[in-house]
Amino acid sequence: MPLNHTSQYAQLTDRQFELLGRAVVEWSNIEFLLGCLLSRLLHTPEFLGRTYTDQLSASRVEAAIREALEIHRVRYRSQVVPEAGQQAALVLLGKIQGMRGLRNKIAHFCWTRSTDGEIFGTALSGGLPGSAKHERSYVSLTIADLEQANKAFSTVVDELSSLVSSLPELTEEDAMALLRREKGA
């Protein structure tokens, strides 16, 4: 039985459920925007780009973004994506990488209420006490910790949205027009 179903005292409060859910939703926004960013860097319409990014884990999308940024820097000499945009993307990727551990715990741990102001999460892993696996398999978070995480996730969403908007977009209509011109030429 899941931890928070064991008793009425273990059940998360509405506020705790809200904060966990908000974190998961904000992280989904981050992953969606990373796919949009990769599409822009690859000069691909976003809908078509999703057929590629949907098949990749978030860490692979991030690796592809890093590689695309390097290509823009070296091969295209920062003519399409200016150095400032490249640097902003790398800074954001660093922030996201730093947040991933907490996001994974929020999304994948089993949670129970310790108090109205604190929750306890565990992966219920098979790690022996004292092992590194065991030490990483549980965490306690306060309401303030969750609020801070949500604020950080939301800030990254805003920064990613701004970055994506600043990059050239190839719309499906533009791509089709280019192909028609190419065919007619």
- pLDDT, tens digit, for every residue of 25-54? 999 999 999 999 999 999 999 999 999 899
Structure tokens at 167: 């990059």
List the chain domain ranges.
Answer: 3-169
| 139-159 pLDDT tens trace | 999 999 999 999 999 999 999
Instruction: In whole angstroms, give the CA distance from residue 87 to residue 131.
Output: 38
Q: What is the pTM of this model?
A: 0.88
Q: Could you tell me the two tokens for 89? A: 């993307």
Length of the chain: 185
Name the burial class of residue 123, with classes exposed (0-12), middle (13-18) and buried (19+) by CB atoms within 10 angstroms of its CB. Answer: middle
SS3 state at 111: strand
Buried b (16+ CB within 10 A) or exposed e, 61-92: bbebbeebbeebeeeeeeeebeeebbebbeeb
